[in-house]
Structure 1
Amino acid sequence: MVESALARIPEPYRSTAIKHRELLKFGMVGGATWVIDTMVFLVLKSTVLEAKPLTAKVIAVLVATIVSYILNREWSFRTRGGRERHHEALLFFIISGLGVAAYTAPLAASRYLFHLQIPEVSLVTQEVADFVSGQILGTLVGMAFRWWAFRRFVFPDENVRRQQISVD
């Protein structure tokens, strides 16, 4: 899928895209897990966790994180490694746990610092503020943090798994 997408990009952008292929894959995984996160968040927030938007957000991020680990390990960072799998998974989930704070901080600020919630604002304003702060700003902050931390701590060594794959 990435190869066919890269082939459609005109030069000089194609060479830049190829150079940053790992980032593009990470972004595609992020897009897929953003959809999962958004769907879980909106379903929980509009049903069983209506009065607890932060709890709904934390659950949504955790579900998306599990999917993210699988997709990032097997696709985005498939040639990177350098750690035993259990250490890699532990670091991934610790960093993702720290990422939960980054993802939820804008929503917490919107609700509890700026009071963008009923009765201070209308239902429409509350819902727009929740979406922008929780799903857009939180996602951008969380993804930037996770990109840096995954490459630095979870999958630190380049081409390690590529060598293992070619040997097997």
Structure 2
Amino acid sequence: MTVVDSVLGVLPSRLRRLALKHRELVKFALVGGTTFVIDNGIWYLLKLTVLNDKPITAKAIAIIVATIVNYVLNREWSFRTRGGRERHHEAALFFVISGVAVGINLVPPLISRYVFNLEVPHVSLLVQESADFISGSIIGMLLAVGFRFWGFRRWVFPDELGQVR
């Protein structure tokens, strides 16, 4: 019995039916939650240490590391019954879509920091860090996730190339 089957067995029947109907989305969300923790852990580690004066660079590095983990987990778990392309072609499409998503993810913190000047000394450290988190890890991430899910299903792991495993 897989972990997913164990979790589904515990859910109430109505919720179980919904989870089964949208299994791919649930798996995508779980992978996203995992990479959200990786992204933010690396971002804050870098931002509060070696890249203290370069928070956008720290965020970009964190997103890239999380994206690599995201590819492996999505390929091997979330979308494992989709695709059918050669791995190098699929990976190239994945990283192109993810590259665009990185740009989408970085727009809100760039606006927060450099348009609204929500950075020290213009605001307190608490306001700066709150604005960074809300703009980079909430708004930017949500915009990028929506784009990734659409792009992955449309181009990277299209259903018409799916393989039953």
Gaps of 5+ in 1: none
User: What is residue 36 of structure 1 aligned with on the other side?
Assistant: 38
Q: How does 1:51-130 map to 2 (within 5 A)?
A: 51-130=53-132
Give the total of aligned pairs.
Answer: 163
2:52 maps to 1:50: yes
User: What is residue 26 of structure 2 aligned with on the other side?
Assistant: 24
Contact 1:79 1:159 survives alignment (8 Å): no
Cα distance in 2 between the residues matched to 1:39 and 1:64? 10
The one-letter amino acid of 1:123's match is L
Displacement of 1:140 in angstroms is 1.0
Deviation per CA, 1:99-132: give whole Å up to 9, x if none.
0011111111111121111111101100111111
Cα distance in 1 between the residues matched to 2:104 and 2:26? 21
Q: What is the Cα-based RMSD across aligned positions, in Å?
A: 1.2
Report sequence identity in percent. 58
User: What is residue 139 of structure 2 aligned with on the other side?
Assistant: 137
The one-letter amino acid of 1:51's match is D
Cα distance in 2 between the residues matched to 1:143 and 1:42? 20
Displacement of 1:81 in angstroms is 0.5
Gaps of 5+ in 2: none
Displacement of 1:158 in angstroms is 5.2
Deviation per CA, 1:60-112: give whole Å up to 9, x if none.
00000001100000000000003211110000000000000111111111111
Q: TM-score scaled by structure 2? A: 0.94
The one-letter amino acid of 1:99's match is A
Displacement of 1:8 in angstroms is 1.9
Cα distance in 1 between the residues matched to 2:15 and 2:161? 24
